[in-house]
Structure 1
Amino acid sequence: MESIEPEKYVISERASYLCEILEVSEKELITQGNRVSRPKIQRIPEYMAEKVEFQRYYKPQIISLGLFHRRTRQGYLYKKAWAAMYLKDTNQKVEDLYTEIFYHDEEINLLKLKPVWRNLEDYFVDKNDIIVDGCCVLQLLKKSDSSVDDLEQELKISIDKLVRVHQDLLIMDNQIPFELLRLLCQDEAMLEQCLHNFLQVHGILIELAPKLPRKKMENQEVKVAVDEEEEDPVHLLDYLRRALLMRDKHTFYKDINKKKIKRGSLHLRKYRIGTIKELKAAGIQLRKYQASNSIFPNFTNGVLELPELVVDGSTIYIFLNLVAYEMCPDFHNGFEVSSFLVFMSSLIDKPEDVKELRKAGIIINELANDKEVADLFNKMDTILVPETPLFAYIRDQIHSHFESKRSKIRMLAWMGEAYSTFFRSPWTIIALLAATLGLVLTFIQTWFAIHPKAS
């Protein structure tokens, strides 16, 4: 009996210790859940980066920034040359920039990559890369509003390579802290122009671009922003995402939250809405939303409004890296971009669906043909997210429309199928007329066989 008592004591002590750990973890989780999310710059999630078909869109081709990607010799030459051009154009000295950056070290520490990295230098392999990377990006964006000929001359690079450089700036783990760009660019107006050029290069309207918060003075108390729009973007990709979520965001979500929405399963899946062909057969009209480049759709009185979307070689870079950004574990968000991709991949199945969207002015196709656009969205069809309230709301509206006009929809669907089957080309029309004529002649022959004329 004496040997059993110590064992009970050890078990009790360990159980008590585990309870304390669990209680502390619960309190920590609750505390962190109330904090404003501030994502860090980190690697592409492994389960996305390991997909063979996506790997090329997650690796820089020419310019590598930060420390995650191995720099190429040619890319580093461009970076040093553009950094030198920027310092010359803005009449700044490297010594002054070093003082400015390391003096504000504590401010930038909020964006450090990992908690174990203690200062700004850990973003980069070399101290000099801090200046080179930041100045290189600013010079590239500053000159991006020039004509094509001027860009080749000013930046000493061919246009095909320049396109790839701009695609490199979209890669999630090839970003640099936005605060670094702020410190290297003393002119606030020029910084905003650089951001507008960045959006314009990728086909995003700048009329409703998010505005930067006013630069904080040194003696001003730093307040924690309740809304992400009250603080600087984390990096360029974060700024691009904000530009895509500009359309009446707060009013839009406020209206949706008033209604009880039947959510789908929490399983990661592709929630189906229907292809464009199916929606049109159901009498649903397509219309381009005029006022913004937001990704939010709208459905009212049988009309589906979709934002204008320019599809070119950079489209897949933009969306795949925005999806990777939304999957970051420290970034609290509503998976808006991911949900939009799932929504669009449901609408687009075949080139005919792209054609209808193009005719409605919703898709501007800058690829070779409609099949390439359909293939692009079908490729991104592997992105799976839980159904969000926004798209559950749109789905429920469309299904309610189906239910209210079920008999008419069946007739329209039958007529649409008949039209596409028998009137899709002159040959099918000729075949239909020949078959009809054959049936009429057969009927006449049968009639006279049954009712012959009296002699």
Structure 2
Amino acid sequence: MSEGSADSVIIHIHCQLDGLPSTPAKPTILRVDSHLRNDKRNNVYDPEILAIGPYHHGISRLQNMEQLKYNYLKRFLKRKNEQSVERYVTAVAAMEKRARKCYADPLDLDENAFVTMMVLDGVFLIELFRYSGFKHLRDTVDPIFRHERILSQLRHDVLLLENQLPFFVLNQLFNMTKTDEDPDDLIALALRFFNGMFLNLSASRVLARLPVKNIDHLCGLIHDVWCLPFVETISHKSNERDEWDNINSISGLREAGIKFRKAKGNENLMDIKFVNGVLRIPELIIYDETESQFMNLIAYEQLLPDGEQRYVSDYTFFMHCLINTSKDVELLRTRGIIENCLGDDEEVCQMFNRLGRNILTSSGFCYSQVFCSVNRHCQRRSKKWNANLRRNYFNSPWSIISFLAAFALLVLTFTQTTYTVLTYYNRKG
């Protein structure tokens, strides 16, 4: 290579390097991993009626909600006595580049289309949260609150991993549109909308341990809120790397003498304890959207950096190990550990079988100590039974010989009886 050519290459490379940011922005709103998408139920990652953000924007079957977004914006401006969306567009446009970097995939939307989408989707979500909490704000002909099924579908869609807006965009729009009726922060307003779907944590408790600046999107918010009560109980164990083996299903554990009880309290769904042969598990309510919510929270965790705890994945794997048949679900239901709103125990069993497929648990599995304790208990019971059998029935060579002789006599008697019966019927024939 000539000196002139080398200089040209050097200049070209330095130009490319100079164009890169010093610390590349890390996307926070990602696509569901392909190995999860390959599952037969990959539709649980797709919106049913509402597209939020760019990943599902423009899909024809979701267009009915686009007109409703404009209706919500119009009603919002009327309530605020504003004639123009200018200040909201200006605010979002100032965040356009930052917001675009939150998405992992290249986006086909130009700046105008992207900002329009952000304003429409953002105002719609905030107004939806307000209408859910304040009935007097609703339009009497609003289809969302006239049909419970539509509201249920929206709750499903708003939590999807691929159906998100950056939280800082939502928070900015909320602060610009805050009313005297609104709570002080967007987290409190959002949690009201999801109240009952997950655990009933007060917003003040959440905010004390979950600053707004640490929230990437609504899916991440609900994940953190759901896991929050459990995190502190195991924080001192987070660096442990215990070796553990899978536990048996409920049927097998019952044979080992293990009992199952509903844990007291309802704020810590994942706080499962095993003490004195009793497995205490908090109540889990299962309804139509439960599988989709679990799968999207699991998909969110599968994209976390190595070393971070996957609390929902670990909990799901635990329940997957426990539940092998509908009888296992029935026992949990009769103990008050599962409230089955689906009505069919077999359906719940199949749900956990699907959820546990191809799941990645934490490198420091949250329930490693519980698994080890359960397995030790089962091994002790097995050894105890074997010792009892040897002590009471096989405590001398003569007892073993007597047992074998009795067994042989039983086999001979059965054989002779069978032969006699067959001979009788053959002669009769």
TM over 0.5: yes
- Aligned match of 2:425: none
SS of match in other structure, 1:373:
helix
Q: CA deviation at 1:263?
A: 2.4
SS of match in other structure, 1:61:
coil
- Match among 366, 390, 396 for residue 366 of structure 2: 390
The reply on whether 1:128 has 2:116 as its aligned counterpart is yes
1-structure distance, mates of 2:387, 2:26: 53
- Match among 227, 232, 243 for residue 225 of structure 2: 243
**Runs of at least 5 residues in structure 1 that lack an aligned partner in the other structure:** 1-5, 7-30, 214-226, 265-270, 413-455
Q: CA deviation at 1:245?
A: 1.0
* Structural mapping, 1:195-214, within 5 Å: 195-207=190-202, 211-212=206-207
Q: Check 1:354–1:249 CA distance in 2 against 1; reply closer, same or farther (3 A cut).
A: same
- Match among 378, 384, 388 for residue 402 of structure 1: 378
2-structure distance, mates of 1:355, 1:122: 54
Q: Check 1:404–1:128 CA distance in 2 against 1; reply closer, same or farther (3 A cut).
A: same
2-structure distance, mates of 1:206, 1:321: 21
- Match among 229, 238, 258 for residue 284 of structure 1: 258
Alpha-carbon deviations, 1:238-264, whole Å to 9, x = none? 11111121225234230465xx65325
1-structure distance, mates of 2:142, 2:233: 43
The reply on whether 1:263 has 2:243 as its aligned counterpart is yes
Q: CA deviation at 1:131?
A: 0.9
2-structure distance, mates of 1:232, 1:318: 21
Q: CA deviation at 1:74?
A: 0.6
SS of match in other structure, 2:41:
helix
> Following TM superposition, where does structure 1 have runs of at least 4 consecutive aligned residues deviating by more than 6 angstroms?
121-124, 149-152, 409-412
Identity across the alignment (%): 24
- Match among 341, 354, 358 for residue 329 of structure 2: 354
1-structure distance, mates of 2:346, 2:137: 34
Q: Check 1:199–1:308 CA distance in 2 against 1; reply closer, same or farther (3 A cut).
A: farther
- Aligned match of 1:182: 171
SS of match in other structure, 2:279:
strand
2-structure distance, mates of 1:164, 1:132: 19
The reply on whether 1:342 has 2:317 as its aligned counterpart is yes
The reply on whether 1:138 has 2:126 as its aligned counterpart is yes
Q: CA deviation at 1:136?
A: 0.9
Alpha-carbon deviations, 1:245-297, whole Å to 9, x = none? 1225234230465xx65325xxxxxx631212222222222233333143232
SS of match in other structure, 1:382:
coil
Q: Check 1:397–1:361 CA distance in 2 against 1; reply closer, same or farther (3 A cut).
A: same
1-structure distance, mates of 2:203, 2:307: 24
User: Is the CA contact 1:253–1:390 (under 8 Å) kept in the aligned structure 2?
Assistant: no
Alpha-carbon deviations, 1:69-103, whole Å to 9, x = none? 13422121222223333444455652121233334
User: Is the CA contact 2:230–2:271 (under 8 Å) kept in the aligned structure 1?
Assistant: no
- Aligned match of 2:344: 369
The reply on whether 1:155 has 2:142 as its aligned counterpart is yes
1-structure distance, mates of 2:225, 2:307: 17
Normalised TM-score (structure 2) = 0.72
SS of match in other structure, 1:197:
helix
Normalised TM-score (structure 1) = 0.68
2:151 partner amino acid:
L
**Aligned-residue CA RMSD (Å):** 3.7
Q: Check 1:395–1:80 CA distance in 2 against 1; reply closer, same or farther (3 A cut).
A: same
User: Is the CA contact 2:253–2:378 (under 8 Å) kept in the aligned structure 1?
Assistant: no
Q: Check 1:116–1:172 CA distance in 2 against 1; reply closer, same or farther (3 A cut).
A: closer
